[in-house]
Each structure stands twice: as structure tokens, then as C-alpha cells.
Structure 1
Amino acid sequence: MSETNSKFYTGDLTNTTIENANLNETTIRYVNMKKAQIIHVDLTGSTVRASNLSEVKVEGNAWWDMRMNQCDVFGLKFDTGTLENTIVSNSHLVNLTIDNCLIDGLKINGVLIKDLIENHPDYRFNGESIPKKTLYNEAGNRI
């Protein structure tokens, strides 16, 4: 099938597989994609707006230079990933927990958190439990 500049309305594509397709500059609106699988898809430069991403599982992806604006992220669990060179601003971080993470250069309101923790009287360093920096190859895959 080779349809360009086409429009599809009110269709039932339940259990459909779309493979090796060029959907460049495609707009997907008002679509039920519950339990859909998006695997090996290049979303570079894409926009996800006004969408419900509840209970979405994001695994093994590179989100370089990603921007999240006016997003409510309740109950997010971020594990074994890299947030290097990330900026969080004008956000509610109520009940945020950071455990067993490499925090070199982490600042909150200009204060280096590593220095603050290391100078706290209850601080106990266990260097073996801190994960090493995550490395990626040229294809963007974790190595």
C-alpha cells in the first residue's frame, strides 16, 4: 500500500500491525491506542500534546534534548536511566525521592546537593552502591 497525503476517519484498526511504514509528518488525533506497542520507532522532532499517557511503560529509549512543558507526572518511576544535563524548573517536586543515584553536579536552587549531603552529620558514603554513568553508542543504544 502506498498512500500519501491520505486521510482516514472513523476506522477500526484493532489488532492491526503497521510495520516498515513511513509515517513522516503524520497527524494522529483522537485515537484509542490502549495497550498499543510502539517498538523501534523514530519520534525525533515529534510532539505529544494533550494526551493521556497513564500507565505507559517506557523502556530502553533515548530521550535526548526532550522537552516536557506543563505536564503532570504523578507516580512516575524512573529506574536505571540517565538524566544528565536535565533542567527541571517551575515544577512541583513534592514527595520526590531520589535513591542510589550518581549526583555529581546536581543543584537545587544553585546549591550543590552532593556538597550538602557530604557535610550532613548523618552522611555515610557507600561508593559501591552508586551506579556508574550510562554509556550509549553512535546508534543511541545503551552499552
Structure 2
Amino acid sequence: MKLENEKEILTIVNSDVTASSFKNVRAEQVTLNCCNLSGMNMNDVNLTGLHISDANLSEFVIDGAQWGGAHFRNIGFGNPNQPDVEFNRTPVQLTNCNLHQSVFTDCNLKNAKLDNCDISGLTINGIDIESLIKQFKAMEQK
């Protein structure tokens, strides 16, 4: 089926649209429920206001995106006690990201690593990390 230059409201139920493609399509307010979108590729898309809930985002990649105002809540590696949910312990990686003035609240950062990161102004539970590092280095030199 091919729709071209059409304005239609489609309802697709219990269907397989594998390998379908959409180009220059307005799809505002589209709702996807109980869909397998594994391997989906999106390029040059506007996802302003996108809301994803109860999703498996294992190996999910976002590259070259603007994320001002983005909010990530209740994110984890899955629950190994739920046999119907894929459990993936692959570490999450943030590379070349601007987290300036970001706030992390009630997050598990156990064994997290910061490599080659600008930590100026970084505070953890009210403690200025730069000052703490300076104190450590001063004690090391004694």
C-alpha cells in the first residue's frame, strides 16, 4: 500500500509493517501501543514532547540530538526477577554530552566513572568536589 500526498488517519491493528518506510511525513500525535520497534532507524526527526514509558531501551542510541528540558525518570537495567522482561547489564554510556547545570536526584551512580570531564562547580550532596580534590592533593604533597 502506498499513500502519497494524502491526509489520512490510520488505525493499524494486529499488523506487520516490517520494512515500511516513511519520508517527509507529518505524524503528530501518533500513538504506538504494544509495538515491536526493534531496529527502527529515525533520522532528522522532531521528537519534541515525545513520551516513552514502560519501554525496553537496551542498546538504544541517541546521536547528534538537542535535549534541553529532557527528563529521564525511573530508568534502570530492568528487573532480573521478571522473566518476561529482557535484563541487560550493559553499562549506559554518555559521551560528548553537555550536562551543564543538570540535576541528578535519587540516582544510583555506584561505580560510575567520569573520564576527561569538566567538573567545575560539581557538588555531591552539597560538597564541592573541586575543593575536595584540592584538599586531597594538598594532603598528598605533605
After TM superposition, the runs of 4+ consecutive aligned structure 1 residues lying more than 2 A away are 1-6
User: 2:125 maps to which residue?
Assistant: 109
Q: Which residue in 1 is equivalent to 2:23?
A: 19
Is 1:38 matched up with 2:42? yes
* Partner Cα separation in structure 2 for residue 105 and residue 79 of structure 1: 20
Q: Which residue of 2 is the match for residue 138 of structure 1?
A: none
| Partner Cα separation in structure 2 for residue 3 and residue 12 of structure 1 | 22
Per-residue Cα deviation, 1:68-105 (whole angstroms, up to 9, x for no partner): 11111551111111111211101111111111101111
Which amino acid is 2:31 matched to? T
CA pair 122-10 structure 1, distance change in 2 beyond 3 A: farther
TM value normalised by structure 1: 0.79
Task: Decide which structure has the larger Cα Rg and report it.
Answer: 2
Counterparts of 1:43-58 in structure 2 under 5 Å?
Answer: 43-58=47-62
**Which residue, 35, 48, 70 being the options, matches 1:66?**
70
Q: 82-91 or 1-10: which moved more?
A: 1-10
**Could you list the runs of 5+ residues in structure 1 that have no partner in the other structure?**
124-143
> Percent identity over the alignment?
24
In the aligned structure 1, how far is the partner of 2:26 from the partner of 2:95? Answer: 32
Aligned-residue RMSD, C-alpha: 2.0
| 1:31-65, Cα deviation, whole Å (9 max, x unpaired) | 11111111111111110100000011221111111
Provide the aligned length of Structure 1 versus Structure 2.
124
- Give the structure-2-normalised TM-score: 0.79
Shift of 1:4: 3.6
State the secondary structure of the residue aligned to 1:119.
helix
Unmatched segments (≥5 aa) in structure 2: 78-88
